[in-house]
Amino acid sequence: MATLTDTASYTSRTADVRNWLGKAQDWLDARGKPAWLAAIVLGFIIFWPVGVALLAFAIWSKRMSSSSSRSCARRSRHSFAMGRPTGNSAFDAYKADTLRRLEEEQDSFESFLARLRDAKDKTEFDAFMNERAKRSEGSAES
């Protein structure tokens, strides 16, 4: 029969293993794909089920796909460059004018949506009041 100390010891060992695995994963992530590939190859050399497990984890967690990291880097560079002047005054003026016009269109669209929501709210409130008036008339006649 397991005692409380045995359970605490097991829980502590499990936490240590998880902590160690998390540190190993962070270490491999910091070094990129070559480190993951080396770990997978070493896993196959040392004990093939470890290699299979590492390969499955790398595929499942998408650590081997390059498209996500490239698109993320491309997006961050693109968003950073949006506010920078290009050095061409004509293009910078055109860009500023276009951005101002788009902001005005966004503001007018948002005010249109607000008016639309207000009209819908008023319609729903009027319908509620009419229904309430009908109910009170029906209960007064009874």
pLDDT of residue 3: 57
In angstroms, the CA 55 to CA 63 distance is: 10
| Angle at CA of residue 63, ends 60 and 64, nearest 5° | 100
The Cα 114–Cα 44 span in angstroms is 62
pLDDT tens for 24-66 read 888 888 888 888 888 889 888 988 888 888 888 888 887 776 6
